[in-house]
Each structure stands twice: as structure tokens, then as C-alpha cells.
Amino acid sequence: MKTILVTGGAGFIGSNFVYYMLRTHPNVRVVVLDALTYAGNLETLSPLLDNPRFRFVKGDITDRAAVENLFREEGFDAVVNFAAESHVDRSIDTPEIFLKTNILGTQVLLDACRKGGNIRFHQVSTDEVYGDLPLDRPDLFFTEETPIHTSSPYSASKAGADLLVQAYHRTYGANITISRCSNNYGPYHFPEKLIPLMITNAMEGKSLPVYGEGKNIRDWLYVKDHCSAIDLILQGGRIGEVYNIGGHNERSNLQVVKAILALLGKDESAITYVKDRPGHDLRYAIDPTKMRQELGWKPETTFETGLRQTVAWYQENRDWWEHVKSGAYLAYYKQHYGNT
């Protein structure tokens, strides 16, 4: 049995990864370390709380003593770091917590891996570290060699973490890999991000706030395909390497919003154009050749199928997102664990 630490496992991608790993690897035990910030939702993991191959620990990756204790107690075989502040708009309002969690938190984990005897460490990063591409050059894509060139405090903090991870490899021989994925969507996505916000607002009859003219392009990947890519990197990725993850599913924001409305059988009258995001990245587009050639990875889910499944999931799991929107999800930890 191998024990993997998944930090940020109560968030969107981390929780999907936990389910993916427990489902596909019967010899894997997962420990989640999550601070349960506003973005962490223990209800998402509730079906696992009594599973003998799962343990949830509430804690902050910036808390060095707590992290080191947990490493000593568990003797991890590998660490996958999803824990982060992840919302660009929030990073524009309050940058500091992004630097603290995303950079300093990563350093604490790297140090713990080093102390633990060079534990395998995978950093979940983002294509946003490459900045953006122009809208009128569809021939351009981000490769692993594209220079780091960030736009928001969020992307700058993720880039800072990536550089630190690479420095630990070069300086201390740390046993690391980094993945940079495009925008994810799917179940358990917090409804402050574009796709779940639009689905849930449309279901509630609220307006759909599109920034600027809705022309910005994102490269969407169904979350399960991101999980399978990280799994492959953990198994066969070359140490010290960066891997880009994406499935060539570029859509403008307006195309995405209209597709959601069509799936819900609603007209487009609820779309409202609102003030643009400062520094708004124009286009993201990943070249995933290295993942395909080195690790044989390819995405399984087209955007049309993934979006249909995602809309259906939000229709079938109304309690989940209504608890998020009402704030009721914040009480779940206390209900389950009391005041511990």
C-alpha cells in the first residue's frame, strides 16, 4: 500500500483527483491535508470519511510544525500539491494570501519532502504562468519552453512556486515534477468560476455576468482528464520536468455561456455584459505534445460531452451547490468532527 498526500483535496480538482486515485489504484491510500478555506468543501469528500484508505486532516500548508508532524506520522510515498488560492479576481482584490499559500506553502511542503528523505513531489501548476496569447494568432500555443510571463497576482504566485520547485530540484536534487494545465471544468467546481457560476445562475434565473465582450478564449479540459494526466506523471514522468496538459478545446467565453444556456433550454436574455477584469488574459492554448509523446496521455472527453455531463451533474446535485451558495457547506466540518 502506498500513501499519497493530496493537499487541497477538498477543493475542485483535488477532490476529483482523490476519487480518481482511490477508484483506479486499489493499492493507494490517500491523506488529504486541506485548510478548508472558503474554497474547501468537506461535503464533497463526505462519502469517503469512513473509507479505510482515506484520511482527512484539516490543516494549513503554511503551518510548518503541523506539516512536519503529519509527514513524520504518515511517512508519505508521494505528495501532490493542489492547495492554493486559485481565483484570479480574488487575487486582484487581496494578493497577499496568494503569495503566502501558493509560494510559502509550497516551500514548506518542499522542505518536508526533503526532510522526509527526498519524497516524490508533484506541483500542480497552471498554464496561466505563461501569460496570454493574442486572439488573432490561432497558430500559437504554450509549450514547456514558453517563457514565464504572468499577468495577475494569482499567476505570479503560481509562477513563483514553480521557480522554487525547480530551484529545489537543481540545488537539493529534489524529486519533483510540475504540470501546467489549462482551465478545468466538471463536478464539484466552486460556483465563483465561469462554468459553474453560469450553470447555477441560469438554473436560479439570475443574470450571467460576462466580462468585457466575452471574446477572451480559454482552453477547457474535463477535470477527469487532468487527473489521469497527473497520475501518469506520478508513475512515469521524468524527474525535474514540466508537463503541459490540455486538450485543444478552445472556446470564447461567450461561446461557453451560450452552450450552457442551450443545454439548459434557456434563451440568451440573461447574459449581461459587465466591466472587464483588469489585466484580463486574452487567450490560453496548450500544446500537449510532450504529455502525448512521453507518457501516452490523451484526453478522453470532448468539450461537448464534458459540458453536457457537467450541466447534468449540477442539475442532479442541486444540494451541493445550493449549500455552497448559501454558505451552509462551511458548517459541515464542525457537524462531522465537532470542535476538534
By annotation, the residues acting in catalysis are 127-128, 154
- The option from ligand NAD, ligand TYD, none interacting with 84 (CB < 5 to 8 A, set by class) reads ligand NAD
Spell out, one character per residue from 171 to 190, where the chain touches ligand NAD: x when CB under 6 A holds, - when not.
----------x-xx-----x
Residue closer to ligand TYD, measured from CB, 183 or 244: 183
Rule CB under 6 A: which of 239-268 touch ligand TYD?
253
Burial of 105 from C-beta contacts in 10 A (0-12 / 13-18 / 19+):
buried
Query: Nearest distance from residue 55's CB to ligand NAD, in Å?
Result: 15
Residue closer to ligand NAD, measured from CB, 74 or 266: 74
- 209: β partners: 272
Alpha helices in the chain (DSSP H): 12-24, 64-74, 88-93, 96-98, 106-115, 153-172, 194-204, 223-236, 253-263, 289-295, 303-316, 318-326, 332-337
- The option from ligand NAD, ligand TYD, none interacting with 13 (CB < 5 to 8 A, set by class) reads ligand NAD
Query: Nearest distance from residue 265's CB to ligand NAD, in Å?
Result: 27
Chain centre to alpha carbon of residue 203: 24
Cα–Cα distance for residue pair 15/41, rounded to 1 Å: 9
- The option from ligand NAD, ligand TYD, none interacting with 211 (CB < 5 to 8 A, set by class) reads ligand TYD
Residue closer to ligand TYD, measured from CB, 149 or 292: 149
40 binds ligand NAD (CB under 6 A): yes
Question: Which residue is it, cell 461567450?
Answer: 254
216 binds ligand TYD (CB under 6 A): yes
121 binds ligand NAD (CB under 6 A): no
- The closest of 198, 104, 102 to 150, measured between CA atoms, is 102
124 binds ligand TYD (CB under 6 A): no
Coil vs helix vs strand at 21 = helix
* Angle value at C-alpha 221, between 148 and 168, nearest 5 degrees: 35
Spell out, one character per residue from 189 to 208, where the chain touches ligand NAD: x when CB under 6 A holds, - when not.
-x------------------
Options 77-85, 143-151, 252-260, 322-330: segment touching ligand NAD (CB under 6 A): 77-85
Coil vs helix vs strand at 87 = coil
Query: Which of the 8 DSSP states describes residue 276?
Result: P
Residue 180 cell numbers, joined? 501546467
- The option from ligand NAD, ligand TYD, none interacting with 250 (CB < 5 to 8 A, set by class) reads none
Rule CB under 6 A: which of 144-203 touch ligand TYD?
183, 193-194, 197
In this structure, are residues 251 and 220 in contact, taking their beta carbons and an 8 Å threshold?
A: yes
129 binds ligand NAD (CB under 6 A): no
Which residue type sits at 89?
D
- 34: β partners: 58
In this structure, are residues 251 and 303 in contact, taking their beta carbons and an 8 Å threshold?
A: yes
* β 28-34/54-58 pair status: parallel
- The option from ligand TYD, ligand NAD, none interacting with 194 (CB < 5 to 8 A, set by class) reads ligand TYD
* Angle value at C-alpha 339, between 335 and 340, nearest 5 degrees: 110
Among 55, 120, 218, 283, binds ligand TYD (CB under 6 A): 218
- The option from ligand NAD, ligand TYD, none interacting with 158 (CB < 5 to 8 A, set by class) reads ligand NAD
Binding site for ligand NAD (CB under 6 A): 7-8, 10-14, 34-37, 39-40, 60-62, 82-86, 101, 105, 124, 126, 158, 181, 183-184, 190
Binding site for ligand TYD (CB under 6 A): 88, 183, 193-194, 197, 209-211, 216, 218, 253, 277
